[in-house]
A and B are shown apart, each in its own frame.
Chain A
Amino acid sequence: MRDVAIISFAQSVSARESERNEVEFLMPVVREAIAASGIERSEIGFTCSGSSDFLQGQPFAFVMALDAVGAWPPIRESHVEQDGAWALYEAWVKIQTGEVESALVYGFGKGASGDLGEILALSLDPYCVTPLWPHADSIAALQARAWIEAGRGTERSLAEITSRSRRAARSNPHAIVSGDETPDELLARPYVASPLRAHDCAANGDGASAVVLAAGDLARSVCSRPAWIRGIDHRVDPASLGVRDLTRAPSAELAGLRAGVGRDRIDVAELYAPYAHQEAILRQALGLPETTNVNPSGGALCGHVMMSCGLQRIGEVARRILSGTADRGVGHATHGPALQQNLVCVLEGE
């Protein structure tokens, strides 16, 4: 495999983009990531993005987004209807073929222009489940309940995860929510779908993120401390909730193993856990020790831009490696109800 590194990262998150459209909020993020990369826009070999038409409420929403990236003269470009983390994977593959030396990757979404939990009902079995319109929070609550009943944790464990995340988010300028509540204070609040309370569910918003990837020598020539991708893998679990052990995430376990998470210590992990209990499931799936700093950004609970959130997790880890505050970390992305699909990316400084 070729050495490939993340050499820059930019993001924009807000509770609601009520003035700017997708092109208007994506363009500054892309420009920032390219400017920070030290590579000219025209020198970037490949572009890949992740988004979902149903978040925009319009078919071909990603086509308009092309206006933001400078696709003239024409560019080598592709798009996944998945989180930007999978766009990063496709770009990494493209660099592995040897065809290109660098890539721009971005993800964007408008999770706050409709009821995301309701829209996500359309990603279930269209014949037997979608007609019931289960809310995404309700499905997550079924998983949380199963997790508690299996003795993996308690409602207090959820409150502890949320409390820690909200405190961490206070120092993240891109967080949508933050706070310094104690677990007891959080436990006093009402349920939205028991055992989950509002703060145990992601704070949805609008936004975008972008990274620039570069191969070996190019990365070294433009970046003093590239965040090298040491392993990246993604796996999917069956769709039907009934056939899965909801207290585990087998696809995350497998992806973590194949990405080599356990090969060395992990300083920092950013886990895409839109519900509090999912952080605990993922932490276990990846075998992260207590010493790993998990979600120092506050994670998805404190700012969740669907289709960008996974790429942001990877970007948050890369940012810490680029700046020298961490040596080895793991960025994680998920997709689908109850952690159905998972991607794990291990990053390391030199």
Chain B
Amino acid sequence: MKPWLLIKNEIGYRKVGFGIGLACVAIAIGSLSGSITLLQAHEARTEEILAQRERETREEMERLENDYRRIMRNLGHNVMILHADQSRAALRAAGHPDTYLPEAYVHRLGQGYIETLNHLLPVLQERTTWPERELDIILMGTPGQVPVAHLTRFLTEDGEAYRNPIISPIPEGKIEIGHAIAQELGLRPGDTVTLKGEPFEVHRVNAAQGSEEDIMVWCNLDVAQRWLDREGLINIIFALECVCDIDGLGAITEEISALLPDVQVLEFSSRVIARGEARQRAEQEARRAIAAEIAHRAQIGDELRTFATILIPVVLLASGLWIFFLILGNVRERESEIGILRAIGVKESVIVSIFLSKALFMGLVGAVIGYCIGVAAGALRGGAGLFDARFWAFFNPALLLISLLVALILCALAGWIPAMWAAQRDPADILRGE
């Protein structure tokens, strides 16, 4: 015969009392595991929402950036690098710079680590006449865009050229002409013309821009240098300002002057800049919104935590007291039993173990019930659906272990005094009879 038989049968005999005890433990553990699960669910949901916001923002930013790139491509470049001595008045008056830079400068930029600029286009630009046709033109000699070596995402596999250049190199023996020239001279792509005594094929006629571009003739840099007698020289480096910085000019100037000491940087095309700024603002706005959301959800989390830190001890204390009185009542009910067991020669420690084991068993079963109910309620309240995989993920063994431990400690504490009292009852008082 083992004490366990007494515990088991007594529980069956006094089901209601045991049931109330179970309910107490379940409520205590339920509010513990429920609060923890709710907090976890809240945090998981926060992360989910934020991840989604971030994704949306990123997509929006990418869209804006693509827009921006498109505009850039349409408008061409928005930054000019000129010689430091170049007068802006003279530039405006002549329509082209009258100071020159070594061609090597552009390669220095391309090899240097510049972040604020991209799509470097070295040009030798000069106003001249087309002698055979007696026409004023702006001659534009360029070797095509010079890659920025570290901006690999813009480069072809071999890193030698841009993936999508704004201006490709002009093929040998060909020229590109502005819309006004083409109209004036009645030229089409494929026509052959003579320019400064050399034959060229019209490679392309550029679309009408309503600007000086319409009277530009684009040719290879070598050709222009030869004609203008400017071997190894250029007078403008066009570039595209990166979309990453609002204070573009300052940063660009700083970066460039570190590599090229005797140049100045000019910005033009304010529409592009406005777009860039709008994009920056949109991004900042989105970041602010996300930050606000984080703060808001963190506040809710804090409130939940505060609530839980008040609720859990109160519920634990109340349940502990209730369990204490239940077990005390149970001891009183079982006085006759205690008396006869002592008379039979059962040791005090066995009496203690009978009451304490029952309390611990109650804690164990109550903890499992409370854990299941608490986690389920916490997960549902925290926004997980009953049939989500997420819902089941909240049932973790660590929390079960904590629940069991807390319940066992609670029941051991609540059961200890009544069990000791039971063991120390004087059997003579019970057995003497009325």
Genuine A/B complex? no
Q: Which A positions have Cβ atoms within 8 angstroms of B?
A: none
